[in-house]
Amino acid sequence: MLPIWKSAMKRVLLSWSSGKDSAWTLHVLRQRHQYEIAGLLTTFNQAADRVAMHAVRRELVERQAEAAGLPLWNIPLPWPCSNEQYELIMAETCARAVAAGIEGVAFGDLFLEDVRAYRENQMKHTGLQPIFPLWGLPTRDLANAMVSSGLRAKLTCVDTQKLHASFAGREFDKSLLADLPHEVDPCGEKGEFHSFVYAGPMLSEEIPVSVGESVVRDQFVFADLNLVALATIPLSQ
């Protein structure tokens, strides 16, 4: 028989970018025991088959979902995608979620009021509650807590108007945090950088990745991450 508290838990989706903030949100939600996480909701650029802005390959996000033990809600977006198209696709996704008995969507937003207001407005009449578990946490302390917990991530995108291109592909660790210019948010909340989490307390196993070539598009530098095929060691005869 399920524990009594289990029946009172709200079923929610987690908005999943593949980066550290969404991964940490998963960790926090699991610790609170208030929500049953029904899946990871990720939008993909349909043409590139990658996460928007993070530019992470879909196969890597699928490995994250497997390591998190959760189904992936893969939402393909056309490219280019107008705001009207995006909002229509997300409205359809919300309706599907409600039909599946889901009551809310959690986001890893930290302090940008306009972003939060946009999400709340878009979900106002969907029947889904927007949830912000990390809202208002001091980002320097949060970044250090992530690193100390064993979370491991690599920077996949850097906005060169805010951060030097050499940060693309670097490990999100204490060394990186010490090297960030003082005007750059330690969690990259203002879009300075985006990341991919390959290990941490929210994942059951480490995802083996390597950093490939970097690509420049406008002001952004993207570091391509590849899944490393681990060699199979034959048993001794």
Domain ranges for the chain, please list them. 4-227
Q: Which letter does DSSP use for residue 165 in this model?
A: G
User: Is beta strand 50-51 parallel, antiparallel or unpaired with respect to 72-77?
Assistant: unpaired
Distance CA 186, CA 51 (A): 22
One-letter amino acid at 176 equals L
Ranges of the chain with pLDDT below 70: 1-7, 230-237
* pTM (predicted TM-score): 0.92
Q: Which fold has domain 4-227?
A: Rossmann fold (3.40.50)
pLDDT of residue 53: 80
pLDDT in tens, 198-210: 999 999 999 999 9
What three-state secondary structure class fits 131?
strand
What value does the mean pLDDT of the chain take? 93
Nearest to 67 by CA among 151, 125, 137: 151
127: burial class by Cβ within 10 Å (0-12, 13-18, 19+)? middle
pLDDT of residue 8: 76
pLDDT of residue 140: 98
Nearest to 39 by CA among 118, 110, 93: 93
Tokens 């937003």, residue located: 109
Helix intervals (H) in the chain: 4-7, 20-32, 58-68, 83-99, 113-122, 139-149, 174-179
